[in-house]
Every structure is written in C-alpha cells, then in structure tokens.
Structure 1
Amino acid sequence: MEINGLPAHALLVHLVVVLLPLTAVAAIVVSAWPAAQRKLTFLVPVGAVIGAIAVPITTSAGEDLAKKLGNPPFLEKHENFGDMVLPWAAALAVTTIAQWLYLRRDAVSTVPRIVLAVLVVAAAVGTATIVALTGDSGAQAVWGNS
C-alpha cells in the first residue's frame, strides 16, 4: 500500500495519532464542562468515528509495510500495541455517540449523565494511552531504539 510512492502507513498513521488523542481530550472536556457539551458534543463522536475508521486502514497499511520489510522482529512490540488501538477507538466512538444522543434529550437526569461521562472519560484515557504507546513503540522501532 503506497501513496505517491511512500508507504501509506507512514502517512495514514498521522491521522490516527493526531485525531484520536485530540478527540479523547475533547471528549473529556465535553464530559466535565457543560458549556463544552453545548458546543462540541456533535464534533466529538464525529472525530471518534473517523478515528476508529482510520485505525483498520492504517493497520492494514502497516501490515503491508511490515511484509515489505520482511516482518522484522523489532516491529513486534509496535504491532502488539497496534492491535489494541481498534477496540479502544471503538469504545470511544460508541461512548461518545451514546453521550451525544443522551445529551440531545430535553430532560437529562444526573445519574445517567454522570455514568456516561465516566464511561467516555475511561474510553478517552484508554484510547489516548494506547495510541501513545503504539506511536512510541513505532518511533522506537523506526529509529532503532527498541
């Protein structure tokens, strides 16, 4: 998989590495700050869904690149972390969509709002963490420090 002669993974990974952590931060802000709920609530699930869709495309491009490199052992840690990104990204997408749908209601009860906020924050922290670990292990593999 190439884009303009470059390995697609090296280009696509930036979408995941930027969009998912940014969406995770926005999801936490939306969960904690009512003013942000009114302004950002729709954008957060959109970012989460786009990020989740980008993950398998980026993973596929990474697998293609690994094959071209002969599946070197120094990529194993990066691949293992990479396999954990999609479940976390999916959790972020699902929880932010649920939160957005709930907050659109006219009458919003405190307990469900708090439960959803906790679930969103957990998914956001997990997503940002696994993306950071995956990105770091990939950078370590590329620069020979693994």
Structure 2
Amino acid sequence: MGLVNGLPAHVLLVHFVVVLVPLTALALTVGAIWPSAARRMGVVLPLLALVTLASVPLATGAGEWLEEHVGDNALVRRHAELGDGLLPWALGLFALSALVWWAARRTAPAGPAASDGTRWSALPVRAAAVVLSLVVAAGAVVDVYRIGDSGAKAAWHDGFSKTATGQDADDR
C-alpha cells in the first residue's frame, strides 16, 4: 500500500495500531480479571482483537513501502526492525481475547459453595489466563510505545528547528 490522498499510507494506518493495541490490551486485562466484564463485552472482545491483529500487517506493509521511498538511515532501519516485532504481540492479544471470551461464555457465575467444585478447580487455569493476559497486554503496549518513539525519531530527527523561525517568531 503506497499513498492515500497524497500521504504515505503508513502515516495514517499507524494510528489504528496506536489506538487499537492499547485498547485491546485494556479490554483483555479487564476481561481476564473480571469474567463478568468479559461476559458483558461478549463477542466484541475477540472482534476488537481481530481488527487489531489485522491492522498490524497493514501498517507494517505500508511501512515497508515507505521505507523504500525514504533515505536509508539507522533510525529508519531501527524503526522497521522494531515494527516487525509487533505481530506476535498482536497475535497473543487475539488468542488470549478469544480464550477469555470463550471461557466467559462457558462458565456461568457460581457461588463459592458450588457443589460441583467447578469454580475452584478452574482457579489455576483462570489465574494463568490473568497472568498471561497481563504479560501480553503489557508487552504489546510497551512494544507499541517503543515502535512509535523510534518512528517519531526517524521522522522528525532533522525536520524542525529548536528555535522559532519565520514571521510567528517575530510576534512573540
């Protein structure tokens, strides 16, 4: 994907990633910790994660096109390397969101005195899902931050003056 309305598509598509990854991470974490929240979110949780997952290769593909159309430098290469690492995090968000959604659908709320013991026997599995969700959510958000920071540095390292210039500077 190249240009959209005269702008590199990457510059537009990254905004989906920057918004959707943290939003999905938050929804996953809330759903994993509070199954009632996962039940309320319903199928929206895995669908949000699926859209997030789809947005990552779109943004990286557009980024690869852009990389071929800008000057070669270490900052751009670093940003591209970091960007290539986001897909596994997005896949993890999707897989865990689907698991949390599925588990919330399958388990009705049971009181602590449930006679069949299903609430307590599922506790280790639920605890593992919570821990995995927290790790993947945090990893995805940190990775998006690192990628965005490196992209901003690559785009703006020589693109502005540290002192005001032009007519507006005279008005101050």
TM-score scaled to structure 1, two decimals? 0.90
The one-letter code sitting in structure 2 at the alignment partner of 1:26 is A
CA contact (8 A) 2:27 2:45 kept: yes
The residue that corresponds to 1:66 in the other structure is 67
Identity of aligned residues (%): 41
Question: Does structure 1 residue 116 correspond to structure 2 residue 129?
Answer: yes
| 1:137 CA displacement | 0.8
Matches within 5 A, 1:100-111: 100-106=101-107, 109-111=122-124
Aligned pair count reads 145
Cα RMSD for the two superposed structures: 1.7
1:30-87 CA deviation, whole Å, 9 max, x = no partner?
A: 1223442222243222111111111111101001011011433321221111011001
Q: Does 1:79 align with 2:80?
A: yes
Relative to structure 1, the CA distance from residue 32 to residue 106 in structure 2 (aligned partners, 3 Å threshold; closer, same or farther) is closer
CA distance in 2, matches of 1:114, 1:49: 24
Where does the alignment leave 5 or more consecutive residues of structure 1 unmatched? none
Contact 1:95 1:116 in 2 (8 A): yes
Q: Comparing both structures, which one devotes a greater share of its residues to helix?
A: 1
One-letter identity of the residue aligned with 1:93: F
**Aligned residues of 1:24 and 1:128 also touching (Cα < 8 A):** yes
CA distance in 2, matches of 1:113, 1:32: 9
CA distance in 2, matches of 1:106, 1:31: 13
Q: Which SS does the other structure have where 1:104 is aligned? A: helix
Which 4+ stretches in 1 moved above 6 angstroms?
A: none
CA contact under 8 A between 2:10 and 2:62: conserved in structure 1? yes
AA matched with 1:2:
L
Q: Give, in whole Å, the separation in 1 of the partners of 2:36 and 2:82.
A: 35
1:90-121: CA deviation from partner (whole Å, max 9, x where unpaired) = 01111111121122113662222221222122
Partner AA of 1:6 in structure 2 = L
Q: Which runs of 5+ in 2 are unaligned?
A: 109-118, 159-172
1:26 is displaced (CA, Å) by 1.5
Flag the 1:36–1:115 CA change in 2: closer, same or farther, 3 A: same
User: CA, structure 1 residues 95+21, in 2 after alignment: closer, same or farther (shift >3 Å)?
Assistant: same
Match of 2:96 in 1: 95
Hey, what's the Cα distance between the residues in 1 that align with 2:14 and 2:47?
18
Q: Check conservation: 1:66, 1:72, Cα contact below 8 A.
A: no
The 5 Å alignment of 1:35-46 reads 35-46=36-47
Q: After superposing the two structures, state which structure 1 stretch, 113-122 or 30-39, moved more.
A: 30-39
